[in-house]
Amino acid sequence: MKRLYNQVDKQILKQRLHTQPQDRTTLSFYKYHHIADPVAFRDFLYQQWIETDVMGRVYVAEEGINAQISVPNAQFESFKQLLYSVDFLNGIRLNTAIEDDGKSFFKLKIQVKKKIVADGLNDKTFDASDSGKDLNAKEFNALSAQPGTVVVDMRNHYESEVGHFKNAILPDVDTFREALPVAEKLLEDKKDSNIIMYCTGGIRCEKASAWMKHRGFKNVFQLEGGIIEYARQVKSQGLENKFVGKNFVFDERLGERISEEIISVCHQCGQPCDTHTNCRNEACHLLFIQCEECAKKFDGCCSSECKEIVALEPAIQKELRKGKAQGRMVYKKGRSANIKFRAEATTAPHS
Strands (E), the chain: 24-32, 55-61, 64-72, 95-96, 108-112, 133-135, 150-153, 163-165, 194-198, 219-223, 243-247, 256-257, 276-278, 287-289
Integer Cα distance of 318 and 162 in angstroms: 33
Give the count of alpha carbons within 13 A of 142, CB side only: 5
Question: How many CB atoms are closer than 10 A to CB 28?
Answer: 27
Please state the separation of Cα 257 from the chain's center in Å. Answer: 14
Give the count of alpha carbons within 13 A of 48, CB side only: 15
Catalytic residue, candidates 199, 284, 291, 294: 199
* Residue 152 β-bridge partners: 169, 197
Integer Cα distance of 266 and 176 in angstroms: 25
Query: Which residues contact residue 214 at a Cβ distance below 8 angstroms, ignoring those fewer than 6 apart?
Result: 123, 125, 126, 127, 130
Yes or no: say if 243 and 258 are a contact pair by the CB < 8 Å rule.
Answer: yes
Cα dihedral 105→108→113→118 (10° resolution): 10
Query: Which residues contact residue 346 at a Cβ distance below 8 angstroms, ignoring those fewer than 6 apart?
Result: 168, 169, 170
Please say if 266 is a catalytic residue. no
CA distances from residue 82 to 45, 51, 77, 331 in whole angstroms, order as listed: 9, 11, 9, 36
Q: Which residues have a catalytic role annotated?
A: 199
